[in-house]
Structure 1
Amino acid sequence: MTLIVHHLNNSRSQRVLFLLEELGVEYEIKRYERNPKTMLAPASLRQVHPLGKSPVITDGALTIAETGAIMEYLVATYGDGSLRPAPDSDAGRRVTYYLHYAEGSLMPLMLISLIFSRLPAQAPFPLRPVFRRIAGGVHKQFLGPQLALQLDFLERELAGRPWFAGEHFTVADAQMSFPIEIAGLRQRLLGAARPKLQNWLDRVRARPAYARALERGGPYEMG
């Protein structure tokens, strides 16, 4: 039985590779490239899952989509308990929270921000100033304050512990790595403004499994 990660460049599937490297699981990668103009996944991904989205994994006869579901499956199937504390413990409840929070609360804001940042360049040339003002207004009135609210919350969460679930690295940290990479690389929202989040990201990047995942999956290009 071969576990295959259907990997789209610059996508959520990078943290699936990260988790697999942390778990020491053997896997193969099938690569897919975004359309450089639309940034959408190729239609060939629909042959794996009807929605044609990444990440998707196939493990023998199983096909599993959605990042949180994949992460839960991997730690349940291949983990030894070290990356997934008991669900009824404080650390376990925090893991469950962050597995859902990353996609349910944080990533939608990141995606909306990305869309509006690209909107002016995609508009007809005479309308670009108008679209630029619209995008700037949305960011000032909504996206900026909401992103600050979320990231300040995460900064406080890390005030009393080094990792999101507690004293040890868990699947929650792997799940949170992608949106916080976006915040750091593209949004420039970390650094001195949020030193605990920046320190957390630096420690994630220093993990050997993270480096191996980047080597196999390719670097982020979020600029």
Structure 2
Amino acid sequence: MTTSLTVHHLGRSQSERIVWLCEELDIDYSLRRYERRQDNRMAPPEYKALHPAGSAPVITDGALVLAESGAIVDYLIATRGQGRLAVRHDQAGFADYLYWFHFANASLQPLILQVWFLERSDPSMANVALQRLQDRFGAQLSMLDRRLSASPFLAGAVLTAADVMAVFSLTTMRLFKPYDLSPWTHILAYLQRIGARPAYRRAMGKADPDLKPVLGALP
């Protein structure tokens, strides 16, 4: 039987989250992989045409076309995951789950991109702003490290979708904007736990078979 769900994965992009989620939930899905353009490393025209947002990730499910990592994760957990990997409002850790689920795309990923773009601009114009962003970035990583010193996963004792959302920024994103995680040992230990998960290993092998996951201190 052919599944109606297709994960459209742009190589080395945030859409790896959706492949990983499907593997963790043992969801029946088809994977269509797209290579980045050689000239600018952006998505090819056929990927941009999938959704008006023009960016990864995108899924299609019958007539539905859905973008945005958080929206896709929520959709798949609700429609195919029977609520697994989410934390209900009446369960312990609900507020932690909400915070860390949204932390990745609301705080961490935008901050990495801001630092990256300013580092590539005129240093004489960006120096003060860049230093402030770098300080803020370090503070965010320290906060994350403290959380992981007290809990093996972001929402508590078990992996949830909050982890699925967060890991890209700590791993594959460092191929684009390298940064060293050696000062944050609890984050590094966390990435080793993630890298040992069979579902994560399967997902990365399918999504980017030529890529060794970036799980160590340096990218």
Tell whether the structures are fold-level matches, with TM greater than 0.5: yes
Classify the secondary structure of the residue corresponding to 1:7.
strand
Query: Does the CA contact (< 8 Å) of 1:5 and 1:28 recur in 2?
Result: yes
Q: Distance in 2 between matches of 1:7 and 1:52?
A: 13
Sort the Cα spacing of 1:104 and 1:155 in 2 relative to 1 into closer, same or farther, 3 A: same
Count, aligned residues: 210
Sort the Cα spacing of 1:9 and 1:93 in 2 relative to 1 into closer, same or farther, 3 A: same
Look up the match of 2:87.
85
Look up the match of 1:70.
72
Query: Does the CA contact (< 8 Å) of 1:3 and 1:59 recur in 2?
Result: yes
Look up the match of 2:181.
190
Look up the match of 2:154.
164
Q: Distance in 1 between matches of 2:193 and 2:95?
A: 23
Q: Distance in 1 between matches of 2:16 and 2:207?
A: 6
Look up the match of 2:166.
176
Query: Does the CA contact (< 8 Å) of 1:110 and 1:182 recur in 2?
Result: no
* Percentage of identical aligned residues: 37
Sort the Cα spacing of 1:112 and 1:205 in 2 relative to 1 into closer, same or farther, 3 A: same
Query: Does the CA contact (< 8 Å) of 1:10 and 1:221 recur in 2?
Result: no
Look up the match of 1:29.
31
Classify the secondary structure of the residue corresponding to 2:156.
coil
Look up the match of 1:39.
41
Classify the secondary structure of the residue corresponding to 1:96.
helix
The reply to whether residue 53 of structure 1 matches residue 73 of structure 2 is no
- Considering fraction of residues, name the structure with more helix: 1
Q: How does 1:136-147 map to 2 (within 5 A)?
A: 138-139=129-130, 141-147=131-137
Sort the Cα spacing of 1:220 and 1:48 in 2 relative to 1 into closer, same or farther, 3 A: farther
Q: How does 1:92-171 map to 2 (within 5 A)?
A: 92-117=94-119, 119=120, 131=122, 134=125, 138-139=129-130, 141-171=131-161
Look up the match of 2:190.
200
Structure 1 position 39, deviation (Å): 2.6
Query: Does the CA contact (< 8 Å) of 1:183 and 1:190 recur in 2?
Result: no
Look up the match of 1:212.
202
In the TM superposition, what whole-angstrom CA distance separates every residue of 1:59-98 from its partner, at most 9, and x where no partner exists?
1121111000011111112224441121343422222222
Q: Distance in 2 between matches of 1:144 and 1:36?
A: 30
**Under a length normalisation based on structure 1, what TM-score does the superposition of the two structures give?**
0.84
Structure 2 portions without partners, runs of 5+: none
Q: Distance in 2 between matches of 1:159 and 1:4?
A: 37
Query: Does the CA contact (< 8 Å) of 2:12 and 2:172 recur in 1?
Result: no
Q: Distance in 1 between matches of 2:74 and 2:96?
A: 14
Query: Does the CA contact (< 8 Å) of 2:9 and 2:57 recur in 1?
Result: yes
Query: Does the CA contact (< 8 Å) of 1:44 and 1:52 recur in 2?
Result: no
Classify the secondary structure of the residue corresponding to 2:171.
helix
Q: Distance in 2 between matches of 1:206 and 1:46?
A: 33
Sort the Cα spacing of 1:155 and 1:63 in 2 relative to 1 into closer, same or farther, 3 A: same
Structure 1 position 137, deviation (Å): 5.7
In the TM superposition, what whole-angstrom CA distance separates every residue of 1:154-192 from its partner, at most 9, and x where no partner exists?
01112221110001111111111101115766533322x
Query: Does the CA contact (< 8 Å) of 2:171 and 2:213 recur in 1?
Result: no
Classify the secondary structure of the residue corresponding to 2:43.
coil
Structure 1 portions without partners, runs of 5+: 121-130
Query: Does the CA contact (< 8 Å) of 1:9 and 1:34 recur in 2?
Result: yes
Q: Distance in 1 between matches of 2:144 and 2:92?
A: 17
Which portions of structure 1, spanning 4 or more consecutive aligned residues, are displaced by more than 4 angstroms? 132-138, 182-186, 220-223
Query: Does the CA contact (< 8 Å) of 2:204 and 2:213 recur in 1?
Result: no
